[in-house]
Amino acid sequence: MKKTAIAHPNIAFIKYWGKKEDELRLPANGSISMNLDGLTTTTTVEFSEAYEKDSIMIDKENLFEEADRVIKHLDRIRALANITTKAKVISENSFPSGTGLSSSASGFAALSVAASYAAGLDISEKELSILARQGSGSACRSIPDGFVEWLDGATSEDSYATTIFPASHWDIVDIVAVVSQEKKEVSTSKGMGGADTSPFFETRQKHMTQKIADMKDAIKNKDFTVFGEITEAEALEMHAIMLTQKISLIYWSVGTLQLMKHVKKWRAGGLECYFTINTGQDIHILCQSKDSGALQGKLKEVPEVTRVLLSRAGMGARVIDTHLF
């Protein structure tokens, strides 16, 4: 059977950095995110006896590095569906992959949905989220709609994401300022392995529960100032862990740093915006809908910015009728 799904990457306001269990990807702490409706991964999967081996094509290339991880994920789904049939997978991103824009989140969310349905599974949102998490942790947050919480959980069955507010709850805007097309030097999975080697990791864990509660309140109350302050401080805290890991990770470029300073300056000048950054050089800037035009105008004046990608809160992963092959 052939099925196609689309999914959006998500931006974490409270981040996942560090695992309590590697193989199952159980996170050290819970996290909060929003799906990004302006960025999309589309994936078609077909299981057929006609295929002698799995074939994977991402963004029109046969990417052998990622293929192993995708085939492992297909194996999880084949085990659930009790089949051994090989699959053809074609996936396309509407945005640059491997530069910190979380293509693995939307990628594994779309793959989980398309492959599960193509394998004939009748599977709940919670089960899809648990499945997607095992492909790439943050992918579990791209399964449900809108504003999402990933419950860290003590076991695989307890570690999944749910909607805390629908996409329509709050009209905030995420603008990605692309400052590089270069792929990151250290992958997220590899980098995250060393999180607990930072002397600050334990301290971070101690206040995560409170921070998550405060963030949920800020989103519930649509308090953009509290939301923005927590979000920006959280991104800097995660990067403080990265910078102090053994071996240290510096994901920023000159352009990233310049934009961090610009955001603070624009904010001091009355344009309320806040940044957050993942494992890449590109920077997400959050603002209220009314300020989005002014912020885009400011970004046009920054020479390091090669492209801007605008999103509002988006839906979760879902099946569509148009196939890629």
> Cis ω on the peptide bond leading into residue 6 (within 30° of 0)?
no
Q: How far is the CB of 185 from ligand PMV (least distance, A)?
A: 15
Rank residues 18 and 255 by Cβ distance to ligand PMV and give the closer one.
18
Number of residues that bind ligand PMV (CB under 6 A): 15
In the set 137, 146, 314, 316, which binds ligand PMV (CB under 6 A)?
A: 137
User: In terms of C-beta distances under 8 Å and separation of at least 24 residues, what long-range contacts does 77-83 make, across chains too?
Assistant: 77/112, 77/115, 77/116, 77/119, 77/121, 77/131, 78/119, 80/116, 80/119, 80/121, 80/123, 80/131, 81/116, 81/119, 81/120, 81/121, 83/47, 83/119, 83/120
320 backbone φψ class: left, alpha, beta (φ>0; ψ -120 to 50): beta
Nearer to ligand PMV, 22 or 223 (CB): 22
User: Which token pair is 309?
Assistant: 């990608």
Q: Cβ of residue 135: shortest distance to ligand PMV, in angstroms?
A: 9
User: Measured from the CB of residue 82, what is the shortest distance to ligand PMV in angstroms?
Assistant: 28
278 binds ligand PMV (CB under 6 A): yes
Counting contacts by CB under 6 A, is residue 189 touching ligand PMV? yes
| Among positions 136, 198, 276, 292, the unique one binding ligand PMV when judged by CB under 6 A | 136
> Does residue 112 bind ligand PMV (CB under 6 A)?
no
163 binds ligand PMV (CB under 6 A): no
User: Interface with ligand PMV includes 104 (CB under 6 A)?
Assistant: yes
**Span 5-64, contacts to ligand PMV by CB under 6 A:** 12, 15-17, 31
Q: Is 188 among the residues that bind ligand PMV (CB under 6 A)? A: yes
318/7 Cα distance (integer angstroms): 7
Whether 164 contacts 109, CB under 8 Å:
no
Taking the least distance from each CB to ligand PMV, the nearer of 57 and 186 is 186
CB of 111 to ligand PMV, least distance (A): 13
Rounded CA separation 323/321 (Å) = 6
Which residue stretch of 131-139, 175-183, 203-211, 226-234 sits at the interface with ligand PMV (rule: CB under 6 A)?
131-139
3-state SS, 229-293, equals HHHHHHHHHHHHHHHCCCCCCCCCCHHHHHHHHHHHHHHHCCCCEEEECCCCCCEEEEEEHHHHH
Kindly tell me which of 46 and 145 has the beta carbon lying closer to ligand PMV. Answer: 145
Considering only residues 129, 134, 198, 279, which one is a binding residue for ligand PMV as defined by CB under 6 A?
A: 279
Specify the length of the chain in residues.
325
CB 110 within 8 A of CB 317: yes
Task: Give the position of tokens 């920077």.
Answer: 283
Stretch that binds ligand PMV, among 100-108, 172-180, 193-201, 229-237 (CB under 6 A): 100-108
Residues that bind ligand PMV (CB under 6 A): 12, 15-17, 31, 102, 104-105, 136-138, 188-189, 278-279
